[in-house]
Amino acid sequence: MNSVNLVGRITADPELKQTTSGKSVISFSLAVKRPRVKDTTDFLKIIAWTHTAEYVAKYAHKGDTLAVSGVITDREYEQNGRKAHSVEIIADEVQVLGNRQTAAGAADMPHFEEVPQDDTLPF
């Protein structure tokens, strides 16, 4: 089974492009911390198509935390007369989980007092 789920930060503002047939496509890099390895981050190339690409272009910005689900692909191509390959994730789903402004402002959010247990409350 080829399935991948990632959570990381987008490294740059993505740019929506159109294929010659008019299909929306977007590619971006996602910085994902590697588990169990201190201070190691992988920068993974993500590609999204059609509605997913349009969602990313509209709502994702540099530094935002994204959840990405998709499949891993290994694409071969030729560059300067030499064969090369690129490992990419084709995104089926992308969700914006938060942005840097929200995370930075979280410390400024008011703290609410806990409501004491009261048997007269209707909930």
Q: Which 3 state secondary structure label does DSSP give 68?
A: strand
Short-list 28, 20, 88, CA closest to 55:
28
pLDDT higher than 60, residue 25: yes
pLDDT for the residue numbered 99: 82
Q: Using CA atoms, how far apart are residues 47 and 26, in angstroms rounded to an integer?
A: 6
pLDDT higher than 90, residue 108: no
The whole-chain average pLDDT of the chain stands at 88
Domain ranges of the chain: 4-100
Beta bridge partners of 107: none
Window from 18-22, 31-35, 91-95, 110-114 with minimum mean pLDDT: 110-114
- This prediction's pTM: 0.77
- The secondary structure element, H or E, covering residue 6 is strand 4-10
Tell me which CATH code domain 4-100 carries.
Answer: 2.40.50.140
Quote the radius of gyration of the chain (alpha carbons, Å). Answer: 20
Q: Of 101 and 80, which is predicted with more confidence?
A: 80
